[in-house]
């Protein structure tokens, strides 16, 4: 009887809290291109209470059973970066704690609370957790059911901290091109320098993303200048992944109001509609596969993906289905699918190239492309007759639009 009474009360409490959150949690105006923005301190408190009802500590304890206290879930460079008091702790005991995850989720307006439908909000949280399981979890080896989310913090558990492949190195100008990075040998920054490898639950990568996240948090270039802040401060690292989840990626090749990739948040909330090009690319409906495509499409999606990549995309679906079931989520038909039949956004964009950027055109070679006003392109798929797509071309060769 006590369980029945409790069950009846919870939806009422949730409804009241959600109503308060809509009134004061900065719910978006409905512009599908808006990125997440930081909630005020007051809003964060209200959002935490709602999120705790949607994602309970009981669920957290179940899905992190294999990672929460697992001593293998530690960074290889922890003694270099972290205070001594956490050296012997699993990351789930100080970084990925329940309170830290809730606080990180609450940091950004609208995550897990925008919909008036509790099921949609829980669907979003389950999808977010499933992707954490794949990105930084223990994986199927230790937890084939939930993936043990919240195991590692950095890409390679710290081994990739000095990698220069994600936009160069923090303190060494000139390492901002792939060629120079390669010439350095082993794709590593100079001794003592560091790069923008993946950090946090969803592995925020690339210097441009660290900069954009810092600007969203009103600290400007702090995270780009010191990316380790995402490793040493759980509130920053987790918030960075939530921010990325809500970010619609823009590109210079598209008009400024058109995203190159939608945000995972908008896909799940039903605020993304496939274009004709998306349908041609196999992205026919909003589902978990599109979310995977946004996060790691170049490796896990479509005909260009490796067998391992396709397997990893399938694991995300497995983890999602099991976490969603544990949370009592009703999964919409067709949502729990991978991206095996979808081309990734880079290989097959949602929109035709914009003639507003004529510096990227087709040609038999760079010299020929630079000398003629050929077809505007983003990649080779937009070119015909054996031509390829070249960038950095003289735009003056083309008539003004």
Cβ proximity of 180 and 221 under 8 Å: no
Residue 159 has pLDDT above 50, yes or no: yes
Residues 210-244: b if buried by 16+ CB within 10 A, e if exposed: bbbbbebbeeeebbbeebbbbbbebebbbbbbbbb
| pLDDT band at residue 24 under the 50/70/90 scheme | very low
Backbone angles phi, psi at 136, to 5 degrees: -135, 20
d(CA 288, CA 295): 11
Domain range list for the chain: 2-152, 156-245, 361-397
Confidence check: pLDDT of 321 > 80? yes
Q: Which of 66, 118, 135, 253 is catalytic?
A: 135
What is the β-pairing status of strands 388-390 and 361-363?
Answer: antiparallel
Instruction: Enter the tokens of residue 238.
Output: 């987790």
Q: What is the CA radius of gyration of the chain?
A: 22
Q: How far is CA 81 from CA 74, 154, 192, 361, in A?
A: 12, 11, 13, 45
Question: Per residue in 86-119, pLDDT tens?
Answer: 999 999 999 999 999 999 999 999 999 999 999 9
CA dist., res. 385 & res. 207, Å (int): 36
> Percentage of the chain surpassing pLDDT 90?
68
| H or E segment and range at residue 58 | helix 57-63
Note the helical H segments in 170-287. Answer: 178-183, 207-216, 222-225, 229-232, 234-245, 264-268, 276-280
Under 8 Å between Cβ of 137 and 151: yes
pLDDT confidence tier of residue 244, bands split at 50, 70 and 90: very high
What does the pLDDT look like over 35-79, one tens digit per residue?
899 999 999 999 999 999 999 999 999 999 999 999 999 999 999
Mean pLDDT score across all residues of the chain:
88
H/E element holding 22? helix 2-24
To the query of whether residue 135 is one of the catalytic residues in this protein, the response is yes
**57 Cα distance to chain centroid:** 23
How many of the other CB atoms lie within 10 Å of CB of 277? 13
Mean pLDDT check: name the lowest of 145-154, 237-246, 364-373: 364-373
Report residue 60 as tokens: 């957290």
């Amino acid at each position: 009887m006590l369980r029945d009474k409790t069950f009846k009360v919870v939806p009422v409490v949730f409804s009241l809290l959600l109503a308060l959150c809509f009134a004061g949690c900065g719910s978006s105006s409905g512009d599908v291109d808006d990125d997440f923005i930081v909630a005020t301190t007051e809003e964060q408190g209200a959002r935490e209470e709602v999120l705790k009802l949607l994602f309970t500590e009981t669920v957290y304890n179940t899905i992190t059973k294999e990672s929460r206290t697992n001593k293998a879930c530690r960074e290889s460079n922890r003694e270099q970066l972290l205070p001594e008091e956490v050296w012997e702790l699993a990351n789930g005991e100080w970084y990925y704690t329940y309170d830290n995850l809730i606080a990180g989720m609450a940091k950004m307006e609208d995550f897990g609370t925008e919909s008036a439908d509790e099921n949609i909000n829980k669907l979003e949280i389950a999808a977010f957790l499933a992707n954490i399981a794949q990105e930084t979890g223990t994986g199927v080896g230790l937890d084939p059911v939930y993936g043990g989310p919240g195991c590692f913090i950095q890409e390679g558990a710290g081994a990739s901290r000095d990698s220069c492949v994600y936009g160069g190195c923090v303190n060494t100008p000139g390492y901002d091109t792939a060629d120079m990075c390669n010439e350095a040998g082993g794709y590593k920054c100079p001794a003592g320098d560091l790069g923008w490898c993946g950090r946090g639950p969803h592995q925020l990568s690339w210097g441009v993303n660290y900069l954009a996240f810092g600007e969203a948090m009103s600290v400007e270039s702090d995270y780009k200048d010191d990316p380790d802040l995402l490793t040493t401060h759980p509130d920053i690292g987790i918030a960075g992944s939530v921010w990325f989840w809500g970010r619609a990626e823009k590109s210079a090749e598209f008009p400024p109001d058109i995203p190159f990739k939608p945000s995972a948040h908008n896909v799940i909330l039903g605020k993304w509609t496939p274009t004709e090009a998306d349908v041609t690319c196999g992205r026919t409906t909003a589902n978990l596969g599109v979310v995977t495509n946004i996060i790691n499409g170049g490796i896990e999606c479509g005909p260009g993906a490796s067998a391992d990549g396709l397997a990893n995309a399938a694991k995300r679906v497995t983890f999602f289905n099991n976490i969603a079931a544990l949370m009592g989520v009703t999964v919409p038909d067709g949502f729990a699918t991978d991206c095996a039949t979808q081309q990734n956004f880079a290989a097959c964009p949602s929109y035709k190239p914009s003639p507003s950027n004529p510096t990227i055109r087709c040609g038999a070679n760079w010299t020929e492309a630079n000398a003629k006003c050929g077809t505007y392109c983003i990649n080779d798929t937009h070119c015909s007759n054996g031509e390829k797509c070249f960038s950095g071309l003289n735009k003056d060769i083309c008539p003004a639009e």
